[in-house]
Amino acid sequence: MTNPPLNPEPTADELVARARALSPTLVPRQAEVEERHQYAEDVHAAFAEAGFYRMLVPRRYGGYQVDPETFYRVIVEITRGCSSTGWQLCLGASHALPVATIFPEEVQAEVFGDGHFIAPSVLAPGTVAKPVDGGWDLTGTVRYCSGVPYATHLLTHALPETEGAGVMVVVAPRASWTQLDDWGRLMGMKGSGSHSVRFEGGFVPSRFTVPETPLFAAPIDGGTEGSRLHGTPLYGGRILSFYGMQYGGLRLGMAKAAMDIYEEMMQTRSTLFGRSTYGKPQPRGPRALDPDYHRWFGLIAAKVAAAELAFFGICREWMDLARANVEGTGAFTIADDRRLFLAAGEVADLCWKVMQDYVLPTAGCNEWTTGSRIERLYRDMAMHTALGARQLTDQMLSRELAVELLGADPNTIA
């Protein structure tokens, strides 16, 4: 399907309002999403009509080129309704930004076309690229391609057969690969559309590749292909920290969903029987009138608010650094890149703490039935911790950040 641009172009507030209107409709469909392993065609059509796939696509190709804060406000609201759906939407729609940042105009015109662009991104090179006339033939399997069910492309790394050649970035059209029916076996994120993709000699033109340049090492100092072409700093920032925002934004949406569930419990559930206050037995009553539940819910709300303030501060700082880089008034350094990535991870950890330390121990055992909304959310949040091997990534990047901040010579470190 194509995604006709909305006329006039929606404002940031309008995009967020559309997400808030759609979010409640996703709640009763979560079991269906898990069973299907992706969101349904009608949900996909609703997202297209709302303009969500166009948010980070450049305007010259029919997109809206919104800032990261607007993009993630939409993602948070959708994730609040269904975490698997939010994950699939986010990781399909967000990678317009790196493509618009690093590829030249002729490639962007082909890839973005009329503005309907959806591309999962997997950084681990799962394919070998054989040089052929005009391009490369790719062979191999790329796993965890979140967002692939409705994708037009896949953004990934490939290993050239050429001896000594480093990894190259590839934006591979859907015609060059096949989606496998292999998702849904994990404990959580069963409906996130994270199927594998298989290349069997799939042809990718040379112009659709960037040789010897991993995505996270793409040069941006002073501006990029995209910032010059589109006249906006949106495509002039570092890519690693932008990817890190995916973890923080999605986990923030999940924490808000947990708070929604807890608030509903406050209104509909009673306190535990036999509880006492200062040695005085208290009768069962509504949680909404109980001081202990007031305290727990208040702490949940405060921690979610802290995560939200921190996360959107990260989004704004990323944009400020990209602007300074493009305008020549400052630098977007490697240390900045690592710092923002790790800060987004801290947001994700705070949101997990809300679930682990407050929602789980105080909600009551009766809430944790198989298939309940909170049980599914817990599984998704737990799986979110494992996907992407974030702990390993954080260990590496925290060391790199320390080296950058200290001005140490990496060659002298054991």
Residue 208 to residues 118, 155, 173, 213, Cα–Cα distance (Å): 16, 10, 9, 13
What are the start and end residues of each CATH 1.20.140.10 domain in the chain? 237-412
What are the start and end residues of each CATH 2.40.110.10 domain in the chain? 121-214
Neighbours of 285 (CB within 10 A): 11
Nearest residue to 38 via CA among 181, 190, 151, 178: 190
| pLDDT at residue 149, as a whole number | 98
Residues sharing a CB contact under 8 Å with residue 14, sequence separation 6 or more, in sequence order: none
| pLDDT at residue 19, as a whole number | 98
CATH topology of domain 121-214: Butyryl-CoA Dehydrogenase, subunit A; domain 2 (2.40.110)
| pLDDT at residue 331, as a whole number | 96
DSSP-derived 3-state class of residue 188: coil
| pLDDT at residue 7, as a whole number | 65
Percent of the chain with pLDDT over 70: 93
- Reported as a single tens digit per residue, the pLDDT across 20-29 is 999 999 999 9
Q: Is the pLDDT of residue 414 over 70?
A: no
* Burial class of 12 by CB neighbour count within 10 A (0 to 12, 13 to 18, 19+): middle
Q: Is the pLDDT of residue 76 over 60?
A: yes
Please name the residue that has the structure tokens 């967020």. Answer: 16
Distance CA 249, CA 246 (A): 5
- Reported as a single tens digit per residue, the pLDDT across 363-381 is 888 788 888 999 999 999 9
DSSP state of 318: H
Q: Ramachandran region of residue 34, left (φ > 0), alpha (ψ -120 to 50) or beta?
A: alpha
- Judged by average pLDDT, the poorest of 110-114, 164-168, 233-237, 272-276 is 272-276
* Burial class of 283 by CB neighbour count within 10 A (0 to 12, 13 to 18, 19+): exposed
Nearest residue to 250 via CA among 205, 196, 200, 192: 192
Using CA of residue 2, residue 8, residue 11, residue 17, what is the dihedral sign?
Answer: negative
| Confidence grade of residue 260 (pLDDT, cut at 50, 70, 90) | very high
Percent of the chain with pLDDT over 90: 78
Distance CA 298, CA 28 (A): 27
Domain 237-412, second-level architecture: Up-down Bundle (1.20)
What are the start and end residues of each CATH 1.10.540.10 domain in the chain? 12-112
Query: Residue 397 has which token pair?
Result: 């990047």
Q: What sections of 82-193 are H helices per DSSP?
A: 83-93, 96-102, 105-112
Q: Is the pLDDT of residue 323 over 80?
A: yes
Residues sharing a CB contact under 8 Å with residue 266, sequence separation 6 or more, in sequence order: 286, 287, 288, 293, 297
Distance CA 121, CA 411 (A): 31
Q: Is the pLDDT of residue 339 over 70?
A: yes
The stretch 216-239 carries a mean pLDDT of 96
- Reported as a single tens digit per residue, the pLDDT across 116-142 is 999 999 988 999 999 999 999 999 999
| Confidence grade of residue 275 (pLDDT, cut at 50, 70, 90) | low
Domain 12-112, second-level architecture: Orthogonal Bundle (1.10)
More confident site: 405 or 53: 53
- Reported as a single tens digit per residue, the pLDDT across 146-185 is 999 999 999 999 999 987 788 999 999 999 999 999 999 9
